[in-house]
Amino acid sequence: MASEGRVLVVGESLAAFQPMGLVLSRAGFREVTAVAAASYIAAPPSATFDVALLVCSGRLRADESLLQRIVRAKLRCVVLLRGPGTGRERAGWLERGADDCVGFPCDGDELIARLRVHLRHRPQPRVDTPWRAGELVFFPGEQRAERRGRPLLLTTFEYALLAALAEHAGRPLRREQLLEIAHGSAEVAFERAIDVQVSRLRAKLGDHSRHPQILKTVRGVGYMLALPNEPDAS
């Protein structure tokens, strides 16, 4: 199965990744471009990519900084660890904003399949017709949102989650429905991760963590975006 996506590979040291890069190049991707971390920070590529693969160096702060730059560029990001990694380590990267995380060395077929999952669910070009839900304004074509005129720094999934809740404002969405919105992303592969994502969204919206007024918990159901003057459904 050939994929038409463009893959950006970023890392401090890409030498160990070269054999895997050849596997990706032969897998039918339209383009696989490797960029050293320093070059990416100094001048990110002007070309458009569909998914990024972050090759970790083992230097946590440097790798985190790269991930945040990729997230700000609105790219889905798969983190490739320096070693096999632990469940806790992989979970940590997902909570930092990565869309997926795999250990190294990894099976080439598995990595290709994971990249294709994210390519299948990359945002499709849309006319950027803004729409509003209370204090929130969404710009679909750019996959961004604002609250009270101030931009919200959201990951790809955070935007999708907030937009889905806004589209159903005033009505609770079950966790299973929110998992479906994730399109199979490893970032939210289990229901508990939805709670983590909602907590992160609340923080970015300036919502109260214990007594939220925007993203409300509906007991026994899930979550709801409350519009101004919306009664408490919890």
At residue 177 the predicted structure's pLDDT band, cuts being 50, 70 and 90, is: confident
What value does the CA radius of gyration of the chain take, rounded to a whole number of Å? Answer: 18
Q: Are 33 and 6 in contact (CB under 8 A)?
A: yes
Residue 101 contacts residue 78 (beta carbons within 8 Å): yes
Q: Binning pLDDT at 50, 70 and 90, where does residue 126 land?
A: low
**pLDDT for 182:** 55
Residue 168 has pLDDT above 60, yes or no: yes
The mean predicted confidence, pLDDT, of the chain is 82
CATH 3.90.45.10 fits 6-120, yes or no: no
Parse the chain into domains and list their residue ranges.
6-120, 131-225
Kindly state the average pLDDT of the residues 11-30.
75
User: Does position 135 have pLDDT exceeding 70, yes or no?
Assistant: yes
Residue 53 has a pLDDT of 92
The CA distance from 168 to 114, in Å, is 30
- Res. 203: pLDDT tops 90: yes
Pick the CATH number of 131-225 from 3.50.50.60, 2.60.120.260, 1.10.10.10, 2.40.160.40: 1.10.10.10
